[in-house]
A = this chain, B = another copy of it.
Amino acid sequence: MANIKEIARIAGVSVTTVSRVLNNHPYVSDIKRAAVLNTIEQLNYSRNMNAVHLITGRTGAIAVILPYINLYYFSIVMDGLAHEALNAQYRLILCQSNYAAEEELKVLEMLRNKEIDGVVIVSTALQPEVIEEYTDYGPVITCQDSGERRFSSVYIEHYEAFWDGLQYLSSKGYRKIGYCEGRQNGSSASIRQSAFRAFLSERNLPFREEWMVYDCMTEEDGAGVALSLLDMQDRPEVLIITGDHVAAGLIIEARKHGLRIPEDLAVMGFDNQPIGRLLDITTIDNHLYDMGAAAFRIIHEQIRTGSRVPVHRKLDYEIIERGTV
């Protein structure tokens, strides 16, 4: 492969001149420019950014690990990340992992191999100990609370948020509380389940296995829950559902079958999604866009300054009172 020195030699100009032509710098005579461009064409040379990265030690790229891009939660976090990345002129490499640990590890290996400058982990199948092993190679940030780890994090306190939501339902007089969750074994999901059980136990509220539903990811899953409730002898009075779109599906289907919301069944959602605003769904706003934006800003700052001190930032959440509770 031809390099800049070789081009300069063949074209009979200085290396500086070649570099100026490559970078479209104005102060180059037309004759020299033509000589360089002809030589480049002869040698079929293209400025190779991989060589530039090799020299500067920076790639201008950050990888993002998330399981599914087409779920509201993840697409909004990605929106925040991508918006900030564009502002900072950083490239985002998206790994839609479907929670395959080996694929997530490959992304962390990219950090070790200096192919990227940092990794944002929105949600992961990996244990925190595994992620920590890579922090020597560059900054890593998760969008989950993993405690005082060697990598950074930006998160909402799912335990606290869920507890507050339950407290709100309890304050409204509900005693029979059901719960619809996405992926049962997700790390945030596990935290919410702990909060749920602890709250019911502390308040002496009934816990019933059939009021716990997992794998509620889509509007149609929510509708399925509504149908299963119809056949239930002893129904919960209220459901807390980790996603307004799932809550929307449930509400729409429940109303088709004559259930009144909130009189026959109250519903509390999560995420403050557009469909939730439209259906007047009481919800907990996690500020997901802000989480993505903050994750980018933190990791970008760490790349810029070379700091390896992990940052742990807790974000606010808020209960938005509407008509379904």
Contacts and interface: CB of A to CB of B under 8 A. Distances in A.
A204 B1 CA distance: 64
A86 B75 contact: no
Copy number in the complex reads 2
A2 interface: no
Contact of A46 (B54, B113, B245, B253): B113
Contacts of A253: 278
A190 to B, nearest CB: 25
A306 to B, nearest CB: 14
A162 B8 CA distance: 55
A125 interface: no
Nearest to A47: B113
Interface in A4-63: 46-51, 53-54, 59, 61, 63
B68 A137 contact: no
B82 A46 contact: no
B278 A223 contact: yes
A114 B79 contact: no
A83 to B, nearest CB: 7
A271 to B, nearest CB: 12
B278 A275 contact: no
A146 interface: no
A213 interface: no
Most chain B beta-carbon contacts within 10 A, residue among A53, A137, A253: A53
A83 B220 CA distance: 22
Given A50-B51, A86-B98, A252-B279, 9 more contacts: A47-B112, A48-B113, A70-B75, A70-B79, A82-B96, A86-B100, A92-B94, A245-B275, A253-B278
Interface of A: 1, 46-51, 53-54, 59, 61, 63-64, 68-70, 72, 75-76, 78-79, 82-83, 85-86, 91-98, 100, 103, 110, 112-115, 137, 218-220, 223, 245, 248-249, 252-253, 274-275, 277-279
6 contacts: A1-B54, A50-B59, A82-B94, A86-B103, A91-B110, A219-B274
